[in-house]
């Protein structure tokens, strides 16, 4: 029967290896995560411009009594569906914050407002890239636990992708395929 100190040594080694594995995984995925964050920021910036132009177009149509074209209506529907995606995912607001500002965010927001459920792989990578490595302003460790949950989900999705088992909706939400042509996707 193993002695208590031997069991403690094995447990300590196991924890060290797990910690080292997470460090390796994070290092291997850091560039991909940052690229996904840049992609999401770019999409949202481009969408804001297209949406504003569309708003102006319809405003002018009302003033001049011009009937919008079928293309204008199609673009409006595309923008509406993407706007719904943005509205349904308040966690996207983290894309514009520095890690220090994310750390200052109230811990209750992570538990209620910032849900990562239903995010595709690119969105989830972007969210993870926004998060600080360690939360300083986290007295009850709730932000840290939330970060670990996001990391665990992201890890599972990247493993599914590596094995070729990631579904198209998990890779990229369907709404991105209906974005107006002016919005360029790189990933």
d(CA 154, CA 147) in angstroms, rounded, equals: 10
Cα torsion angle, 178, 124, 187, 41, sign: positive
Question: What is the structure's pLDDT at 13?
Answer: 47
Mean pLDDT of 92-100: 93
Question: What is the structure's pLDDT at 79?
Answer: 83
Total H helices, total E strands in the chain: 7, 0
DSSP 32-84: HHHHHHHHHHHHHHHHHHHHHHHHHHHHHHHHHTPPPPHHHHHHHHHHHHHHH
Pick from 144, 170, 145: nearest CA to 157: 170
Q: pLDDT by residue (tens digit) across 52-65?
A: 887 777 666 666 66
Question: What is the structure's pLDDT at 153?
Answer: 96
Question: Residue 149, CB half-sphere, CA atoms under 13 Å: how many?
Answer: 12
Q: Please report which confidence band the pLDDT of residue 77 belongs to, taking 50, 70 and 90 as the band edges.
A: confident
The whole model's pTM is what? 0.82
């Amino acid at each position: 029967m193993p002695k208590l100190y031997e069991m403690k040594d094995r447990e300590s080694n196991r924890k060290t290896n797990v910690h080292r594995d997470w460090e390796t995984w994070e290092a291997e995925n850091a560039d991909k995560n940052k690229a996904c964050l840049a992609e999401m920021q770019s999409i949202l910036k481009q969408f804001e411009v297209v949406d504003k132009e569309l708003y102006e177009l319809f405003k002018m149509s009302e003033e001049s009594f011009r009937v919008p074209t079928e293309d204008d209506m199609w673009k409006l529907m595309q923008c509406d569906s993407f706007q719904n995606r943005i509205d349904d995912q308040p966690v996207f607001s983290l894309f514009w914050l520095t890690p220090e500002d994310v750390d200052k965010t109230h811990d209750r927001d992570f538990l209620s407002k910032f849900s990562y459920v239903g995010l595709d792989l690119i969105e989830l990578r972007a969210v993870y890239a926004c998060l600080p490595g360690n939360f300083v302003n986290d007295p009850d460790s709730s932000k840290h636990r939330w970060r670990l949950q996001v990391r665990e989900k992201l890890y599972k999705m990247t493993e599914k992708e590596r094995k070729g088992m990631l579904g198209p909706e998990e890779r990229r939400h369907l709404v991105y395929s209906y974005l107006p042509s002016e919005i360029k996707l790189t990933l």
